[in-house]
Each structure stands twice: as structure tokens, then as C-alpha cells.
């Protein structure tokens, strides 16, 4: 969660706000001793080859298993919503957290159907009736000069 925290700092400082770290919103592979960006994964690299083994994928990408990860992320976002009724909130988290939450609220079958870019903005509106609406996904206009297409 260090990178997410570091990304949140400038915004929090500018607005004079504190940062609350929510354990339920930590990344899927938080128990891994290495981090390799998705675009650098290779089946030829001994450190990342296991990501290409579809039979063992869930064990490596989702430290606690996909269902438990989905439940944890959903619980984390519901906590944010419940404790911030009527307010706008910025959540700084990693891509798989975003993908799993969108999978949950949009009813997607495959967690890999959506992929958030680094620094991408996703907007979700939460109503008091329990409806969660995706207002935008993966806005990157603010960093478009940094993205290699």
C-alpha cells in the first residue's frame, strides 16, 4: 500500500486532509515478496512464470483466493461509503482492487475483463439505496503525455 499512500499524499496535503489506510483495500498479491508490473510479466522469467500457469493463477495473484479477495474489497468500499455518506471521497488503490470492485458491482464474469492503467481515475457513485453506478472508468487525460500507447 506504500505506492498508493505516496500517490495520495500530494492531494491530501493540498486539501489539508489526513489519509486513512484501509486494510481491506490492499492489493491482491500483498503477501508476495516481489512486485512486477503487469506489462513486465514474462513466462521466461523464473520470478513471474507462475503467473502464466492458469491452474495456479489464483494462488499467485490472489493471496487469499479470489472469492475472499472480492469479499474483502467489497467490504472495504462499503466501509468507505458508510462512513462518508453525502461526501465525495478519493480512494487511492491498486488496479486489481479496482477491477474486482467493478466486477462485483457490474456483474462481470471475469476479473481480468477490466484493467486500470497507472494513475487512471475511476468514478463510482454510491446511493443510499445501495445502488452503485460506474460513472467513468480509467480516465487518464491528466497523465496522457506520460502514457505510451
Q: Using the structure block, give the residue that is written with the C-alpha cell 492489493.
A: 27
CA distance 132 to 106: 9
Tell me what percent of the chain is helix, strand and coil, each rounded to the nearest 5: 45, 10, 50
| Domain residue spans of the chain | 2-143
**What's the pLDDT at 21?**
92
Write down the pTM of the prediction. 0.80
Which pLDDT score, from 0 to 100, does residue 50 have? 66
Q: What is the model's pLDDT at position 46?
A: 77
Distance, in Å, from the CA atom of 47 to the CA atom of 61, rounded to the nearest integer, reads 13
- Structure confidence at residue 12 (pLDDT): 94
For domain 2-143, give the fold: Rossmann fold (3.40.50)
Contact partners, residue 127, CB within 8 Å, separation at least 6: 133
Averaged over successive runs of 10 residues, the pLDDT of the chain (149 residues) comes to 86 94 83 65 72 58 76 95 93 91 91 85 93 93 79
The reported pLDDT for the residue numbered 28 is 73
Amino acid at each position: 500500500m506504500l505506492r498508493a499512500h505516496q500517490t495520495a499524499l500530494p492531494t491530501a496535503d493540498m486539501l489539508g486532509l489526513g489519509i486513512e489506510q484501509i486494510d481491506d483495500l490492499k492489493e491482491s498479491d500483498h503477501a508476495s515478496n516481489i512486485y512486477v508490473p503487469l506489462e513486465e510479466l514474462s513466462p521466461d522469467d523464473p520470478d513471474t512464470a507462475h503467473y502464466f500457469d492458469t491452474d495456479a493463477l489464483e494462488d499467485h495473484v490472489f493471496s487469499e483466493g479470489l472469492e475472499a479477495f472480492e469479499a474483502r474489497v467489497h467490504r472495504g468500499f462499503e466501509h468507505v461509503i458508510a462512513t462518508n455518506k453525502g461526501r465525495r471521497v478519493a480512494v487511492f488503490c491498486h488496479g486489481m482492487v479496482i477491477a474486482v470492485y467493478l466486477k462485483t458491482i457490474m456483474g462481470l464474469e471475469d476479473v481480468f475483463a477490466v484493467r486500470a492503467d497507472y494513475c487512471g481515475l475511476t468514478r463510482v457513485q454510491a446511493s443510499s439505496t445501495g445502488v452503485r453506478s460506474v460513472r467513468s472508468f480509467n480516465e487518464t487525460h491528466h497523465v496522457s503525455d506520460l502514457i505510451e500507447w
